[in-house]
């Protein structure tokens, strides 16, 4: 029980049988320690524990560090008792109001510490004492669970072990990560602090991850739509993305390359300078999760290919600086992570899962459902019907060439769909936009890297690469069709894609 919460009058006095135990308790604490706990655990018949048997943790630790680490744990039942041999250490612990005892290798001392309770006993003593302490616990209370904290996690009979490294991983490492995230975020804010106008730039046809990341960066910098507009050199075409901007009231401006000169700083999110046709000598900031294709010339860059979404990086920035994430922003970021990782099923990392879980409780899920179910135009339906009619499934790979398409977003959309076909492990869908051939590649995740295979298949023709489960290539159509007489939407285009891709995939065609 904690202190005198609720007043001693509500408790029932226990007979005084503490002997020297009571002498080690501070007088001001005795009344609280004498009371029976007011809560009684409800245990099942299978547990075979008497009604009222409580958790009475016993901590055996020789130094202050483990005392603070273990003593701060949220134990149910009564406050923990300490078994400490050194008098100076015992006096210090007693001043903080804990029960104390002596030799942890003495079964009688352990019985007194447990006082009919069911533990657990947590041992962080010298390794030379482990065997004697476990023997004493076994004699005093054989059914008491024992946890041993040691330098390694080698198993010990009669106990569960945890290593000091595991304790550091679960406590110190997250704190260290947060410190590093905070330093990165503060550096970004400091760099943009004096700028009058900031350009937040996304790819030519921005997806939900890019849009959400741009929103988050604007929030991180504390800027308005006027001082930090969210921009693209292209336009938003995919129905879900249009719906996202409309429903969440996100303003995305289409600008020309000449307009860049009007801004004091340029920040890129979910894109890198080499991905754009427009050339930049240097930008101020790049935050992205895509693999680096060419060297990035930026004052500050944070590129993490192991992450499934750029939104995750921005969530870490905002949380590190304790910046409030509104419901609107949380909904956008959650959708950004969900869209880029297919609901954490494609390329998601531990960081993506943590960000997703954090945002899930903040987001508006009714709004999210509205965004995810946009209407498909008749033109989009015609493109999908054309793709189905032209499909070929060879050696576990779904191939389809859509011909000339009105918007590039329909190509990756159909590639995701193709992966659902029975017996398929890869989906390769292509389409022509202007004079370029766009190829989207998807796989099930447990085969070869999509980025590596796509680069090997089409890298000599143009830009190609990506992640383990998703990749794309953009090549001049004339490069692929050199020597072919057929039209870009004809049979020759698909045949050359099939030939190149299966060759890159190797003899084991399923990856």
Query: What's the pLDDT tens digit per position in 233-285?
Result: 988 878 889 999 999 999 999 999 999 999 999 999 999 998 887 778 899 99
pLDDT of residue 81: 78
Note the pLDDT tens digit of each residue in 141-173.
888 899 998 888 788 888 999 888 887 777 778
E strand map for 361-406: 392-394, 397-404
Residue 292 tokens, joined: 């680096």
**Residues contacting residue 335 through CB under 8 Å, at least 6 positions apart:** 208, 212, 244, 363, 368, 371, 372
| pLDDT, averaged across the chain | 82
Averaged pLDDT, 185-212: 96
CA-to-CA distance for 510 and 425, rounded, in angstroms?
Answer: 7
Averaged pLDDT, 7-15: 41
CA-to-CA distance for 178 and 176, rounded, in angstroms?
Answer: 5
CA-to-CA distance for 391 and 405, rounded, in angstroms?
Answer: 16
CA-to-CA distance for 496 and 460, rounded, in angstroms?
Answer: 14
Note the pLDDT tens digit of each residue in 111-134.
888 876 677 888 888 888 889 999
Residue 65 tokens, joined: 């560090």
Q: Which residue, 256, 258, 290, is CA-closest to 274?
A: 290
Give the 3-state secondary structure of 490-507: CHHHHHHHHHHHHHHHCC
Q: DSSP assignment, residue 455?
A: H
CA-to-CA distance for 146 and 247, rounded, in angstroms?
Answer: 55
Give the 3-state secondary structure of 394-432: ECCEEEEEEEECCCCCHHHHHHHHHCCCCCCCEEEEEEE
**Spacing of C-alpha 38 from chain mean position:** 40
Query: Cβ–Cβ contacts within 10 Å for residue 201, how many?
Result: 29
In terms of pLDDT, which residue wins out, 206 or 481? Answer: 206
Q: DSSP assignment, residue 35?
A: B
Domains belonging to the chain, first-starting first, are: 52-158 (3.40.50.720), 177-372 (3.90.1640.10), 378-505 (3.10.310.30)
Return the H-helix or E-strand segment holding 299: strand 298-303
pLDDT of residue 353: 96
Answer yes or no: pTM beyond 0.75. no
In terms of pLDDT, which residue wins out, 328 or 33? Answer: 328
In terms of pLDDT, which residue wins out, 379 or 440? Answer: 440
Query: Residue 470 — φ and ψ, nearest 5°?
Result: -150, 140
Q: DSSP assignment, residue 130?
A: H
Note the pLDDT tens digit of each residue in 51-90.
445 566 787 876 655 566 665 555 555 677 778 766 666 6
Averaged pLDDT, 214-233: 97
**pLDDT surpasses 50 at 368:** yes
Q: Which residue, 306, 198, 291, 299, is CA-closest to 253?
A: 198
Strands 392-394 and 463-466: unpaired
| Predicted confidence band of residue 199 (pLDDT cuts 50, 70, 90) | very high
Cis peptide before 219 (omega within 30 of 0): no
| Predicted confidence band of residue 37 (pLDDT cuts 50, 70, 90) | very low
CA-to-CA distance for 388 and 366, rounded, in angstroms?
Answer: 32
**pLDDT surpasses 60 at 458:** yes
CA-to-CA distance for 90 and 453, rounded, in angstroms?
Answer: 64
């Amino acid at each position: 029980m904690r202190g005198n919460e609720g007043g001693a009058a509500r408790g029932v006095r226990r007979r005084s049988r503490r002997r020297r135990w009571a002498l080690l308790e501070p007088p001001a604490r005795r009344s609280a320690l004498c009371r029976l706990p007011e809560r009684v655990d409800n245990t099942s018949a299978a547990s075979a524990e008497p009604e009222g048997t409580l958790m009475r943790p016993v901590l055996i630790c020789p130094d202050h560090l483990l005392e603070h680490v273990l003593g701060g744990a949220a134990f149910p039942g009564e406050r923990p008792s300490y078994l400490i041999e050194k008098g100076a250490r015992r006096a210090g612990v007693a001043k903080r109001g804990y029960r104390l005892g002596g030799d942890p290798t003495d079964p009688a001392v352990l019985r007194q510490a447990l006082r009919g309770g069911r533990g657990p006993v947590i041992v962080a003593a010298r390794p030379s004492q482990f065997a004697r302490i476990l023997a004493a616990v076994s004699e005093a209370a054989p059914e008491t669970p024992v946890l041993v904290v040691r330098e390694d996690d080698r198993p010990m009979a009669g106990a569960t072990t945890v290593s000091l490294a595991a304790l550091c991983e679960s406590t110190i490492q997250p704190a260290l990560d947060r410190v590093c995230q905070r330093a990165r975020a503060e550096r970004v804010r400091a760099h943009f602090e004096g700028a009058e106008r900031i350009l937040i730039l996304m790819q030519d046809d921005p997806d939900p991850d890019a849009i959400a990341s741009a929103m988050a960066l604007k929030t991180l910098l504390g800027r308005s739509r006027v001082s930090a507009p969210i921009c693209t050199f292209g336009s938003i075409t995919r129905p879900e993305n249009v719906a996202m901007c409309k429903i969440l009231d996100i303003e995305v401006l289409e600008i020309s390359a000449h307009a860049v000169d009007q801004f004091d700083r340029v920040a890129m999110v979910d894109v890198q300078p080499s991905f754009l046709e427009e050339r930049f000598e240097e930008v101020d900031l790049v935050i992205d999760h895509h693999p680096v294709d060419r060297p990035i010339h930026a004052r500050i860059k944070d590129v993490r290919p192991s992450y499934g979404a750029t939104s995750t990086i921005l969530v870490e920035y905002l949380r590190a600086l304790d910046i409030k994430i509104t419901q609107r922003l949380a909904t956008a970021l959650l959708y950004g992570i969900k869209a880029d990782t297919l609901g954490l099923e494609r390329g998601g990392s531990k960081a993506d899962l943590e960000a997703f879980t954090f945002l899930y409780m903040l987001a508006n899920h009714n709004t999210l459902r509205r965004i995810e179910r946009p209407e498909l135009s008749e033109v989009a339906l015609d493109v999908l019907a054309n793709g189905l009619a032209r499909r070929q499934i060879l050696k576990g790979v779904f191939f389809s060439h859509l011909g000339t398409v009105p918007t590039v977003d329909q190509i990756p959309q159909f590639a995701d769909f193709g992966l659902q076909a029975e017996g398929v492990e890869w989906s390769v869908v292509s389409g022509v936009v202007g004079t370029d051939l766009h190829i989207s590649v998807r796989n099930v995740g447990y085969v070869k890297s999509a980025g590596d295979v796509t680069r090997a298949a089409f890298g000599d023709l143009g830009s190609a690469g990506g992640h383990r489960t998703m990749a794309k290539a953009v090549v001049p159509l004339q490069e692929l069709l050199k020597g072919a007489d057929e039209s870009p939407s004809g049979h020759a285009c698909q045949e050359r894609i099939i030939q190149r891709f299966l060759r890159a995939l190797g003899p084991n065609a399923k990856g």
